[in-house]
Amino acid sequence: MDKKLDTTHVVDNLITINLAASKSGQGSKRKYKRPNLPITAVLGSAFLIYGVLYHAAAFAVLGAVFSYDRSSSETTILINIRDISYVIFTIVGAIIVPRWSARTIIVACLSLMAVCAVAVSFQAHSFILAEFLFFFTGATFALVRLAAYWLISLESKKKGQHARRIMHLEGMYLLGVALSYILFLPYIQDIDSSWTHAYWILLPFLAIAIGFQFLHYHYPTPTLPETWKNEFYHAYKSLNGLLINSILVLSIFCVFIASLIYVHFEEWATVFAVRLIDLRNRQFYDLGVLAALFLVMGVSQLFIGMLLQRAGRFMIFVFCIIGLICLVVWNGTIFSTQIIYPASNFDDISPYSLLLPATAFFLAPILPLIYAVVITQASQRQQPLVIGLLLGVTMLAKILFTSFSAQSYTYFLDYTAFYLILIPISLLLVLFFLAYSDLSRDSRLFHSKNKRT
């Protein structure tokens, strides 16, 4: 009996091929589906890559002496360029993102970073090219983050699901930051190579992340104004309405204070490491104390994301704040009452060194939880603006408070300066309670101008 191959039909990404059976002569159907990955896996791949790309500026500063024949203080402008471009594009992105699909934006941004990676690898000693690299790094990450957050808001049916997805994305980003130490440190330690050579290793992962974006059905773009003029008018009108909303302003203050806490903790991590560990020892430098810290924070956000399936957002927020307060008091008490000598090898490490990752564990989920609570209260068309405001304020606060936090450790004893973090933590708990209670009573807070009764 002759074998026949039927025409291939593709319906909704389902490919059906009829093949003749070898013995019975009857056709059998085999169904092939294009893989449909979870949205957190698809977007998480982009966040993982950007964790490496965004943190690369720190290694550019470390390798400045060998790559650009400049001091580290001169090359810190690379970090400033990256952060300022991020802030600018969180606002610009609020207008751009709604007009294109999230897939288009993410693929375009990842592709641009792949081109920049190739260019900077060939011109390893061009400082101007490095400035362009980190300008595009900050700008594209702002667009990717904004597009991913908005897509999650559109596809999430429940508030807990929305918070869990945001938490998982931020966890993937921090895992990428931890991975950057493994990727860049070998090139920083080798004076014969440039830190830009690590981008050759990143290229295959950029290609994989781009491919992942086509393995999930993205939410279709909603109906939008026909012209850019109408889009700018809508953004201007919405922004004016949002900025006079007292609860949104209160939420922005919460983000601002949480960012201050993050910055203060990063400064404390440096002081903590110097007090407990002899960082001049090569094995500890290779270990990467900060890499371990970012790893713990990433794992914390992934773990808390799973807890959001069982517990409410406010209860988890209070749990993290109380745990953070207890650990801050414990840290300060240990350093004020005991003398701890820096360890020069692994066997001499004090068990009190575990207080640092434990503090990071409770700190990491706070900002994503605030994001999730506020974003879900905005309407679909206002969400990009709300997301842009939250992300922009977060980065702006980190830029402003970095020098202030460092000076606090200059004017006070290290543990006394760390105790100061209790003030913003307590204030954050009160402000978040006020904002959350009002948001819970009025689920359409940002939707209309109706007054509460």
Evaluate if residue 17 carries a pLDDT over 60.
no
The strands making up 27-33's β-sheet, listed across from edge to edge, are 9-11, 14-20, 27-33
Task: Measure the N-to-C terminal CA separation of the chain; round to a whole number of Å.
Answer: 80
Find where tokens 């290694």 sit.
59
Pairwise pLDDT comparison (59 vs 142), residue with the higher score:
142
Please spell the DSSP secondary structure of 48-70, one letter per residue. HHHHHHHHHHHHHHHTHHHHTS-
Give the β-pairing of 27-33 and 14-20.
Answer: antiparallel
* Top-confidence residue, 406 or 260: 260
pLDDT tens-place string over residues 87-146: 999 988 888 887 788 888 999 999 999 999 899 888 777 788 888 999 999 999 999 999
pTM of this structure: 0.83
Instruction: State pLDDT tens for residues 142-183.
Output: 999 999 998 898 888 888 889 999 999 999 999 999 999 888
> In terms of C-beta density within 10 A (0-12 exposed, 13-18 middle, 19 or more buried), how is residue 28 classed?
exposed
Which 3 state secondary structure label does DSSP give 262? helix
pLDDT given for residue 21 in this prediction: 41
Q: How confident is the model at residue 30 (pLDDT cuts 50, 70, 90)?
A: low
Dihedral sign from CA coordinates of 365, 150, 236, 392 = positive
The mean pLDDT of the chain is: 78
Per-residue pLDDT at 25: 44
The confidence score (pLDDT) of residue 235 equals 60
- Rounded average pLDDT over 282-304: 79
According to CATH, where is 1.20.1250.20 located in the chain? Answer: 37-224, 238-453
Place 325 in a pLDDT band, splitting at 50, 70 and 90: very high
Sign of the CA dihedral running 415, 420, 423, 428: negative
- Distance from C-alpha of 188 to C-alpha of 417, rounded to nearest angstrom: 32
Q: Evaluate if residue 373 carries a pLDDT over 60.
A: yes
Query: DSSP letter string over 182-236?
Result: HHHHHHHH-TTS-GGGHHHHHHHHHHHHHHHTTSS-PPPPPP--SSHHHHHHHHH
Higher per-residue confidence, 386 vs 194:
386
Fold of 238-453: Growth Hormone; Chain: A; (1.20.1250)
Token readout for 415 is: 């543990």
- Of 25-39, 258-272, 301-315, 343-357, the range with the lowest mean pLDDT is 25-39
Distance CA 132, CA 135 (A): 5
Q: How confident is the model at residue 413 (pLDDT cuts 50, 70, 90)?
A: low
Residue 121 or 70, more confident: 121
Query: Taking 50 as the threshold, does the pLDDT of residue 13 lie above it?
Result: no
Band (pLDDT 50/70/90 cuts) for residue 282 is low
DSSP 383-423: HHHHHHHHHHHHHHHHHHHHHHHHHHHHHS-HHHHHHTTHH
Q: Which fold has domain 37-224?
A: Growth Hormone; Chain: A; (1.20.1250)
Residue 22 has pLDDT above 50, yes or no: no
Q: Percent of the chain, pLDDT > 90?
A: 28
Write the single-letter amino acid at 89: F
pLDDT at 26 over 50: no
Give the H or E element holding residue 451.
none
Phi, psi (degrees; rounded to nearest 5) at 444: -115, 40
Looking at residue 231, its pLDDT comes to 59
Does the pLDDT value for residue 320 go beyond 90? Answer: yes
67-81, 103-117, 290-304: segment of lowest average pLDDT: 67-81
pLDDT (tens digit per residue) in 339-370:
777 766 666 777 777 888 898 999 999 999 99
Token pair, residue 311, equals 């517990």
Per-residue pLDDT band for 43 (boundaries 50, 70, 90) equals very high
pLDDT digit string, tens, across residues 217-273: 765 555 555 555 555 556 656 665 566 566 777 888 889 999 989 988 888 777 777
